[in-house]
Structure 1
């Protein structure tokens, strides 16, 4: 049975006289993947920034697992269970891929660098990190420095770091952007695996309608910063208002 884990209440942000996100009230449930769509400039990434704490809200609230986190920092929200891919990139570009993942696992376990750490615990951390890398198909790159990774492998590492963090809410903002045709399916398969676990909440900003059709349990549409539609994919896609005013031909093609 799903339950509400994250919600926004009249969430609003203004930049000067421009309202970028306009009183958005929405709840997200465990086990559900919600695609957030809308035309360029609709406020999708800004809404993500408000949820994850990159920018402060002008009005409204963000509630995570029953706790008001509206004024909490990015790191505090991260520790509370909000995981966003780019938050975790470039942590240590001069360390290896394996070392980066191991550090996130260590942080999650709240272990610091300590001379009292046992060799067994360090081995366990490394084994867990190796398992995550195997899951994202980065085992061969484990010894490479992060700064030397290809763009596609950097995106896979973002997912690896999120998996290592094990948040309550996974936030993906166009996760396959800039990836090759060969690389993109790996990341999409990983998101599908996370969804199949049914124990986490996933938010996905995506422009590719075939990706949305494959993964989404629910679609919300933002337009001019406001919530324009919210519902099951078939219901939202069938809306004439959404097709004509917000998504245009791409969405119409999806329902054909």
Structure 2
């Protein structure tokens, strides 16, 4: 007898948001399981980032629910959802620009361990926090930048630092919103390698919004497709990419919901 599938780490039930008369996310039902990487694709304006914002708590839904390990977190703030294991990296960098690269990572480690957030406290001199921050920076090829101010980094390194901050948070669910946006061809492999390593950790769940289909093909176990806010396809990458519904979406043709 085959083992029962693991319960979802994250689930959305009839998740919907309306802005006036516009339905940006339309009753999306989807479950995400540990050990899988799901790519969320669709044309511009399909509702992908809005769906992420509803999951992570930046937006409150008009209808529906968000559940983390079976717990309804729909009414919780983004910070409370983070404490329950949701980690989110944004399209735009979300750093402490006046702090060094190492201090950005150390603050995340410090917060995760419940050591407080006082920059001038003894936590800044705790070697265990600093050592863990340095280990994260080494994995992200940022060790040589650790004493630079985050705000002075080139865009590609700022992107890497934000992903490093998410990795240092050690969430159960990793949410990446176009993590390679604005990066050069030479910079992209570092990000993809990190995401690949996270994916190989079987108790983690990864969601990835990405426009670059070569990245999706490399990483995804599953693809879901949003169009006009609705879920219109869900399945294995090769099958979904080849489907007429996806071809029409990316070519700008009309889609009829099945």
TM-score of the two chains, using structure 1 as the length reference: 0.91
Question: Structure 1 regions of 5+ residues with no counterpart?
Answer: 250-256
1:248 corresponds, among 245, 248, 251, to 251
Tell me if the contact between 1:2 and 1:31 (Cα under 8 Å) persists in the aligned partners: no
Paired residue for 2:132? 128
Matched, 1:198 2:202: yes
How far residue 165 of structure 1 moved from its aligned partner, in angstroms, is: 0.3
How far residue 39 of structure 1 moved from its aligned partner, in angstroms, is: 0.8
Paired residue for 2:166? 162
Tell me if the contact between 1:88 and 1:162 (Cα under 8 Å) persists in the aligned partners: no
Root mean square deviation of aligned Cα: 2.1
Tell me if the contact between 1:219 and 1:232 (Cα under 8 Å) persists in the aligned partners: yes
SS at the partner of 1:54?
A: coil
Paired residue for 2:154? 150
Tell me if the contact between 2:73 and 2:81 (Cα under 8 Å) persists in the aligned partners: yes
Count of aligned pairs between the two proteins: 247
SS at the partner of 1:230?
A: strand
Determine the C-alpha separation between the residues in 2 that align with 1:87 and 1:165: 18
Q: Deviations over 1:157-185 (max 9, x none)?
A: 01110011001111111111110111111
Matched, 1:137 2:141: yes
Paired residue for 2:15? 11
Determine the C-alpha separation between the residues in 2 that align with 1:111 and 1:88: 27
Determine the C-alpha separation between the residues in 2 that align with 1:118 and 1:39: 45
Determine the C-alpha separation between the residues in 1 that align with 2:209 and 2:121: 43
Distance 1:223-1:124 versus aligned 2 partners, 3 A rule: same
SS at the partner of 1:153?
A: helix
Question: Structure 2 regions of 5+ residues with no counterpart?
Answer: 253-258
SS at the partner of 1:4?
A: coil
How far residue 236 of structure 1 moved from its aligned partner, in angstroms, is: 1.2
Bigger fraction of residues in helix:
1
SS at the partner of 1:128?
A: helix
Tell me if the contact between 1:152 and 1:179 (Cα under 8 Å) persists in the aligned partners: yes
Paired residue for 1:105? 109
Determine the C-alpha separation between the residues in 1 that align with 2:216 and 2:193: 13
Tell me if the contact between 2:87 and 2:174 (Cα under 8 Å) persists in the aligned partners: yes
1:76 corresponds, among 76, 80, 90, to 80
Distance 1:170-1:40 versus aligned 2 partners, 3 A rule: same
Matched, 1:42 2:46: yes
1:188 corresponds, among 164, 188, 192, to 192
How far residue 79 of structure 1 moved from its aligned partner, in angstroms, is: 1.3
